[in-house]
Amino acid sequence: MNSPMNSDTWLLLRHTVRFGDTDAAGVMHFARLLEWCHQAYEESLERYGLAAAMVFPTPGHSLAVALPIVHCSADFQRPLICGDPLAIQLEPRRLDAGSFEVRYRFSNNGTAAAQGLTRHLAIASDSRQRCNLPASINRWLEASALGNGVQPLS
Amino acid sequence: MNSPMNSDTWLLLRHTVRFGDTDAAGVMHFARLLEWCHQAYEESLERYGLAAAMVFPTPGHSLAVALPIVHCSADFQRPLICGDPLAIQLEPRRLDAGSFEVRYRFSNNGTAAAQGLTRHLAIASDSRQRCNLPASINRWLEASALGNGVQPLS
Amino acid sequence: MNSPMNSDTWLLLRHTVRFGDTDAAGVMHFARLLEWCHQAYEESLERYGLAAAMVFPTPGHSLAVALPIVHCSADFQRPLICGDPLAIQLEPRRLDAGSFEVRYRFSNNGTAAAQGLTRHLAIASDSRQRCNLPASINRWLEASALGNGVQPLS
Amino acid sequence: MNSPMNSDTWLLLRHTVRFGDTDAAGVMHFARLLEWCHQAYEESLERYGLAAAMVFPTPGHSLAVALPIVHCSADFQRPLICGDPLAIQLEPRRLDAGSFEVRYRFSNNGTAAAQGLTRHLAIASDSRQRCNLPASINRWLEASALGNGVQPLS
């Protein structure tokens, strides 16, 4: 249903470096990249068809499963300046029944500029114990793996 | 050249509330609105045709005139939650030869949600004294005033 | 009980401008001032003796009254650079039975640099209607008014 | 000169979780940890005796060597809520003549809560090529290694 070509609609995103993302060195402040990663993760879910309220806590709408980030990292290859138009390629990957990670490749006019990673763990909201990923996230992970030409986990 | 209808392309923008914009009250953290305002100001200039490097300091590219914000304010009418799709209507206005302000009206599905304001002063980079607005900003201000059905300053 | 001299312990705070607070103009990014204001408000309540969980939502601890910000503003008198040591003078003021505001005066080595304002409204968490300020906040407001040499509201 | 006991004055810092650091899950937003890391790095240099302007770009004060972050990571062991008082233990380490990293261990009332890492590269401002670390940073690194009971690099 989701062909490799289609996955670009939710895995290939765009972002422009804004003035508030820079610091006095004149370039993007390093910690902003992780914020862009999370925004891209949210936009990807949204484009795939998962409304924010299905995945993220909103007032008056409790979730059975929380997906906190337990690890993140970033690598910076070249400075980014205000106005730079970025492409962000997302590579979501299921790690096991209860966790997944997303790799984010940032490029500027075709040149790799930076890379981010977030690792998420499924936690049952009531018991605070590890649990299985929600079905909605599994669908997004599987469709994304297909889209990347990767075999889905069986 | 810029008809009232066309001004929407650089004065009516979109933003989605992201998880990192919220706080533990479950809604948008108040200070984020001012960041969205500045991002909208940058996007408006860009859509109008002014590249970021013409208005904002970038490495190795000095600007004759800086446009620091000397005042800002925000009013919050209703809470905004993660995933809310916002329309942002910008109303730039020249105050005098050396300053302008931008009003930002945020609405969520047609209902007014919040309003922001930034006031900018032209400062000559070499003397650090007040000076006239750059011609590029004056063009954007004038086109925007026309687009809003307001008479341009003569 | 709270003499004018003592109120300095919770109304006169310190903050150092950090690199992540600056932008590519080399100075503090305007929106950061509002974040510093809220941090100073939190630190003031804490120093006065009100634990964060009494005033701000924390997991598993519901509050009868929320105190959302309905208005904020800031004025910038001079640029602030990385490493600048700031003094912040807070002036909390009750507006009526259900609202208050806090003015924040930032100075750098005795010279006024910027000023912020946040206005807060008491909202009953269950009905989402306006209500009276919590007793704890009233105590802080009254002690702060005494400390500033202002007569408390009767 | 800098005994193990003394190094605590610049390697053991404090931070309180603030409301603006949280998200709608009620706990610290993951990306804020990296901002705290950089603030702790700045405070550590300052406490050791290196003024901000010696290490970070400030207007009108050019630096011969920039120290951009080329890699960062964070691990999150337990949620942090508004008001949590944190201790931050810094472990700076020289990697080679032109790079160093800092590990940041965050604990809450004696319990490990999170860990961050930033890796910095020395870049000559004029040539944009890799170069040796500035002498000031080397002094801080060496004194910190002594303080941690680690032998200094010879």
Task: Determine phi and psi for D67, rounding to 5 degrees.
Answer: -125, 60
- B52/A22 Cα distance (integer angstroms): 13
- The nearest alpha carbon in chain B to D83 belongs to B24
- A96/A122 Cα distance (integer angstroms): 10
For residue range D92-122, list pLDDT tens digits in order: 999 999 999 999 999 999 999 999 999 999 9
Distance from CA of C67 to the nearest CA of B (A): 10
Strand pairing of B111-121 and C111-121?
Answer: unpaired
For residue range D25-45, list pLDDT tens digits in order: 999 999 999 999 999 999 999
pLDDT above 90 as % of chain A: 86
Best of C29, C36, C63, C69 to disrupt the B interface by mutation (most B CBs within 10 Å)? C69
Within a 10 A sphere around the Cβ of D36, how many other Cβ atoms? 24
- A73/A37 Cα distance (integer angstroms): 10
What are the chain D neighbours of A69 within 8 Å (beta carbons)?
A: 30, 76
- The nearest alpha carbon in chain D to B81 belongs to D24
- D144/D142 Cα distance (integer angstroms): 5
ipTM for the whole complex? 0.91
User: Where do the domains of chain C lie, and which CATH numbers do they carry?
Assistant: 4-147 (3.10.129.10)
> Given pLDDT bands bounded at 50, 70 and 90, which one contains residue A147?
low
Q: What is the DSSP letter of A20?
A: G
Query: Do D79 and C59 lie within an 8 Å CB cutoff?
Result: yes
C128's CB contacts (< 8 A; 6+ apart) are none
Best of D22, D23, D34 to disrupt the A interface by mutation (most A CBs within 10 Å)? D34
pLDDT of the residue at A2: 43
Please identify among residues 70-89 of chain C the ones whose CB lies closer than 8 Å to any CB of chain A. 81-82
pLDDT of the residue at B13: 98
| Average pLDDT value for chain A | 92
Task: Find the mean pLDDT for residues B55-60.
Answer: 92
Q: Are B89 and B95 in contact (CB under 8 A)?
A: no
Decide which of B65 and C8 is more confident: B65
pLDDT of the residue at B5: 44
pLDDT of the residue at B113: 98
- A30/A21 Cα distance (integer angstroms): 9
Provide the strand spans (E) within chain D: 12-16, 65-66, 69-76, 85-96, 99-108, 111-121, 123-124
For residue range A88-100, list pLDDT tens digits in order: 999 999 999 999 9
Distance from CA of D10 to the nearest CA of A (A): 23
- B149/A129 Cα distance (integer angstroms): 59
pLDDT higher than threshold 70 for residue B101:
yes
For residue range A111-122, list pLDDT tens digits in order: 999 999 999 999
For residue range A31-70, list pLDDT tens digits in order: 999 999 999 999 999 999 999 999 999 998 889 999 999 9
Distance from CA of C151 to the nearest CA of D (A): 31
B66 interfacial to chain C (CB closer than 8 Å): yes
pLDDT of the residue at C15: 98
For residue range C120-152, list pLDDT tens digits in order: 999 999 999 999 999 999 999 999 998 654 444
Task: Find the mean pLDDT for residues A8-32.
Answer: 97
pLDDT of the residue at B6: 79
Please identify among residues 103-122 of chain A the ones whose CB lies closer than 8 Å to any CB of chain D. 118
pLDDT of the residue at C142: 96
Decide which of D150 and B82 is more confident: B82
